[in-house]
């Protein structure tokens, strides 16, 4: 076995048992703030390893990769590509790991952008039991509760905004909190009616891949929620062509005002980023709050 980077080395015998193959090399992949992610080149071809050394500076919560694997398994019902789950668990000294199939890169073309929009619409059109009700999981490293709720507005406040507002004690002012209190009372009137949907839950452009088999989704934070959650997330950090939204809207039309409501839904990921990364996200959080309060 080739000498491997420290995060991979203790896991190598266990990974080789799962794969039935020898590991020739491990190449660190860019992206992500939570895991150490590697492409493993093996005698059976490439695979992906996500792990964490579990030291004082980087400790994943219990069940983190099990929750990600569950989310990926739910998304496999969509007409979109997801990585195959090979194995997940704990190695020596409790080091967690998630072993996935490798998604080879493909072309980002108008056709694949259309396929992303249509595939996401098809995912959202599939019936689910109700709002909330899935096992609890994570948004990045933050716990994400998924209790059953009677409505999209009730779930969004009680399971998404309120827990983060309770935890955030460093940056939000009394004026900011008063704005959220006002928003809470208006949520039922602002969110358009619609059935619950399985949503990816963290669908910024970095969690979309284009492969030879079509568009792929990675790193989910799944929930049963309003479908505009995913549509809004695709707009949060840019990088998603307009035709993706056009293809989605043609396949499963969105209610009027969906573009303006993106600010409302994106309050959740922005508050999460404020908690995880600090003051740099305060301005965008306030902008989204003001835009949400201006909705009619």
Annotated catalytic sites, by residue?
202
Separation between Cα atoms, residue 33 and residue 141, nearest integer Å: 9
240: tokens are 């998603």
Alpha carbon dihedral 20, 45, 88, 25, in 10-degree steps, equals: 100
Alpha helices in the chain (DSSP H): 12-19, 64-75, 110-125, 152-155, 162-167, 174-190, 228-236, 242-251, 258-265, 267-277, 282-293
Beta-carbon neighbour count of residue 280 at 10 Å?
A: 9
In whole angstroms, what is the distance from residue 171 CA to residue 245 CA? Answer: 34
**Cβ count near 273 (within 10 Å):** 19
Which residue reads 């990675």 in tokens? 218
Return d(Cα 160, Cα 272) in angstroms, integer: 10
């Amino acid at each position: 076995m080739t000498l491997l980077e420290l995060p991979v080395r203790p896991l190598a015998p266990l990974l080789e048992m799962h794969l039935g193959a020898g590991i020739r090399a491990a190449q660190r992949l860019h992206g992500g703030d939570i895991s150490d992610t590697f492409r493993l080149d093996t005698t059976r071809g490439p695979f992906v390893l996500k792990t964490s050394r579990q030291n004082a500076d980087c400790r994943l919560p219990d069940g983190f990769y099990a929750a990600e694997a569950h989310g990926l398994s739910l998304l496999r019902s969509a007409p979109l590509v997801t990585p195959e789950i090979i194995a997940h668990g704990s190695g020596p000294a409790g080091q967690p790991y998630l072993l996935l199939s490798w998604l080879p890169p493909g072309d980002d073309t108008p056709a694949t952008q259309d396929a992303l929009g249509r595939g996401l619409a098809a995912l959202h059109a599939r019936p689910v039991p109700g709002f909330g009700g899935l096992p609890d999981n994570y948004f990045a490293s933050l716990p994400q509760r998924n209790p059953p709720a009677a409505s999209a507005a009730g779930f969004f406040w009680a399971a998404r905004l309120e827990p983060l507002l309770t935890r955030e004690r460093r940056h939000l002012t009394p004026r900011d909190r008063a704005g959220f209190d006002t928003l809470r009372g208006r949520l039922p009137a602002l969110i358009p009616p619609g059935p619950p949907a399985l949503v990816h839950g963290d669908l910024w452009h970095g969690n979309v891949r284009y492969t030879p088999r079509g568009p792929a989704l990675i790193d989910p934070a799944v929930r049963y929620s309003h479908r505009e959650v995913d549509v809004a997330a695709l707009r949060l950090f840019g990088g998603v062509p307009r035709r993706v939204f056009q293809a989605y809207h043609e396949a499963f039309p969105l209610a009027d005002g969906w573009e303006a409501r993106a600010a409302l839904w994106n309050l959740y990921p922005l508050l999460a980023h404020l908690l995880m990364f600090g003051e740099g996200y305060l301005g965008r959080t306030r902008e989204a709050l003001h835009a949400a309060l201006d909705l009619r």
